[in-house]
Structure formats: C-alpha cells, structure tokens
Chains A and B, each alone.
Chain A
C-alpha cells in the first residue's frame, strides 16, 4: 500500500514564525504536491515537484517555499507565518505514468497561526 506521512497532525504557531511541514512517501513516486484545504473551497495547489531538486509554483505559492532534496521527501516552508495561513495542509504523491496519475494523500497537518 502507498503510504504518505506528514510530520505533524496538529501544529500551533505564532505570527512571524518560520514553519516547516514535512512529507515523506514510500512508493518511489516521482511527483509530489502540497495543497491547502479550507472550508467551502476546493483543494488549492501551493507547489509541486516532478523530480528531486525540481519545483513548480501552483495556484497560490505566495508566502510559501518548498524543498525536495530527496525523492521521497517534500517539505513546505512558511517563511513568516501569518494568520491567513491557518488551514489544513495536505501532501500528495503520484507516479509519473501519464494520464492516470492518481494522487495519494497524507493524513494532513492542521495548522493554526495565532
């Protein structure tokens, strides 16, 4: 079974803090994604990566950065957390096999910024 793990289920941070969210997958997937999920909105793509050391901006990259030093690990960084970044953060991974790129999700990190 595909397993995607995230470093924390719940996190509370203060405004201005630097926040690291870690994601690890164990299925040798090429693609990895970071989304945020807010009530009443669809999943919104923050950043994604198709390969090690490679990153692409998604729909809402402002205020975030990412790092992919190893194939299995994709980190999301909030450089200076703000209250509007309070959200559920979901990491996903998939094989790069053409159109049927089913994404497998981690359990999510619920971040509260005070």
Chain B
C-alpha cells in the first residue's frame, strides 16, 4: 500500500534549526511536496523535489533520497511565525498526492 510517515509533533527554539523527516512508499513516484499549514488555515506550498539532493529556498531547504524513500524539510533561523503543521505528500504514478498526517512544529522563545 501507499504510505507517508512523519513525526506527529516537534518542538524547537526560536533562532535554532529543525529538521522534519518524512518517509514515503508510493506506487511509482513523481515527486515529493512539502506544505505549511497554520492552524485554521489552508495548506500553502513550500517545496517540490523530484531529483535526489537538496533544494534551498531562503530559510527553508528540502532534501530527497529516492533510493531510501526519504525526505526532510530543514528550517533555519526559526521564527515564532514558523509554528505550524508541515505536511509531506508524495505524488504517485497517477499523479495523485498521498498525504502524511502532518508534523506540528512548536517554536518556543
């Protein structure tokens, strides 16, 4: 079956770095997405990886290893506004997104 696993909750300190991991099993693979969702709001697109390696976009970076079925989202210089849920989603061979349950990130001062 298809499955996305990510931690339920993480806590980090303002100004620090945090890495949110995601492992995936999909029928075929057409890329891995990360979305951010603040409480009560819609998910918003953060990153897309389809090739192995690290993609950097400002304070946020996303990494993919297709051989390991693994991705992570790296957030640097954490700010209080980064407190949100981070959703990992794999795209299968039918271009359908398989979603993880999300990782709730709590930032402490």
Contact = CB atoms under 8 A, between A and B. Distances in A.
Interface in A81-106: 90, 99-106
Given A99-B31, A99-B95, A101-B95, A42 B101 contact: yes
A41 B101 contact: yes
Contacts of A40: 8, 101
A107 B37 CA distance: 10
Interface residues of A, number: 19
Interface string B82-109: 0000010101000111111110000000
Contacts of A90: 42-43
Contact of A106 (B40, B42, B50): B42
Given A99-B30, A99-B91, A102-B48, A42 B99 contact: yes
A45 interface: yes
Interface of B: 4, 8, 30-31, 33, 40-45, 48, 50, 87, 89, 91, 95-102
